[in-house]
Structure formats: C-alpha cells, structure tokens
A and B are shown apart, each in its own frame.
Chain A
Amino acid sequence: MAFMSRRKVCKFCENQVARIDYKDVRTLRRFITEQGKIIPRRVTGVCARHQRMLARSIKRARNIALIHYSLDVTQQ
C-alpha cells in the first residue's frame, strides 16, 4: 500500500553505534541530500541522540572537505 510506510527505527540504535565518525563518509553520505543538506530525522527515522551526533559529524566532515557544504544541482 502506497501510503503505509514501514515503521522507522534508528539504524544507529539497531547497530548499537556508540559514536559516529566524521571520517566515515560512506555513512554520512546517506544522511545528507544531494545538495548537501542534513536530512531531518523525521524522514530518516534516526533517534534524537544519534541525530545530534550525526549532525556534529557531518559538520566536521564538511569543515575538512570530506563532504560538500552545498552543491548546485542545477549546474553541471
């Protein structure tokens, strides 16, 4: 059914992640949009605690150019 989505469970909790590493670009990529925005947890289902850790890690990764701050998707 189109309007019934699965219940969202925090992936980090499921895997008992104690810390989110800002160097782990593969994981961080999944929680940002193509433009580089952090995806809200209402969409991804991440719990509040992990969302805070995630946001911090994403910002750190941006700082050292591991992921982009923003990307103009209309260009290219």
Chain B
Amino acid sequence: MRFYESIFVVHPAIEDNALDRVVDESIQLFEKRGVEEILYKEIMGKKRLAYPIEKQRFGTYVLIQFRSDGAGNGQLNRDLELKDNILAHLIVRIEENEVREEKAEPESESVETAEDQVEATVPEDKPVDDEVAEEPAEEAEPVEAEGEEPQVVEANDPQPEEAE
C-alpha cells in the first residue's frame, strides 16, 4: 500500500457549494479507482495561476492525500483530465510521514509533518527560507560570466579573509 497525494485546480467560477460538489465528485472518482482511504483533504483557496489555463487566470487549489495500491492511478489521471471544471491536476507519490494530520494516523515524531503544518497554517517566513533567500540573488550575476570561479573559491577556502 502506498501513499499518494493529488493536487488539482478547480475553475475559479466554482465557489462555495458548487466547489464542495466538485470536490466530492472528484473524491468519488478517487474511490472508484481503488483508493483505499482518503487521509487528508484541504481546499487551499483561490490563487493566481502562474500562467493562464483554459483562459483562466485564477484557480482554486485542492489537495487530497490518499492511500492506494496505485494500480488505478493511470485511470484516475485520465478521469481528472476529462472532468469538467478541473483546469490542472497532479498525482504524486509521497511517504507516509508526509501525510498531513487530520484523519491521518497520529505520528508526533515526524519532522516532515511538523514542517508541513507550519507552512500550512502560518504564511510567515520560516527561518529556513530566510537564509536561502539571499543566496541566488546575490551570487547569480557574478558567476554567470566565468565558469572557473568555483575552483578558485575552493583553493582559497582555508584562509578566506586576507583583506588589508
């Protein structure tokens, strides 16, 4: 038995009750295709799409995590592709410790899950991200021109400060 998650984008005109209906219909599709158990369901809200899909600039993201033997995933993929009001979808295999809490089996010691939840609930910057932030912006430009730079850096490494 493996764990999967599916994320799909629902047409922005579908809201409230209609949205719930589309989500329920989708879940029925999942169940029809050998999904053992739906472990987590989240409507992640309406977001701006990075590029228009079917002429829509926005879409509502829905995340579903489930357990299945995976045999029906090919069919499920096709079902989602054909379903009206779903602009895009993705089915991805995940590990058990990535399943988010809700109806999921309690696993308190999992670091992954903890991280995921912080992300889900608090939109603030994680400290982790802060540090990563500066890196590419700062270094993207100089290195672009010269390919040998990394080696030079390595060589100088033991005594990096020689400034007068």
Contact = CB atoms under 8 A, between A and B. Distances in A.
Interface in A1-15: 1, 3-8, 11, 14-15
A22 B92 contact: yes
Interface in B136-160: 136-137, 139-140, 142-144, 147, 149-150, 152-154, 156-157, 160
Interface in B41-77: 47, 49-51, 53, 59, 61, 63
B7 A23 contact: yes
A71 B112 CA distance: 32
Contacts of B1: none
Interface residues of A, number: 36
B117 to A, nearest CB: 12
Interface residues of B, number: 47
Given A64-B88, A65-B9, A5 B139 contact: yes
Contacts of B95: 19
B18 interface: no
Contacts of A4: 153, 156, 160, 162
Contacts of A5: 139, 142-143, 149, 153
Nearest to A45: B135
B129 interface: yes
Given A3-B152, A65-B53, A66-B47, 11 more contacts: A5-B139, A6-B153, A7-B160, A11-B135, A26-B129, A30-B129, A30-B132, A30-B136, A44-B135, A44-B139, A62-B50
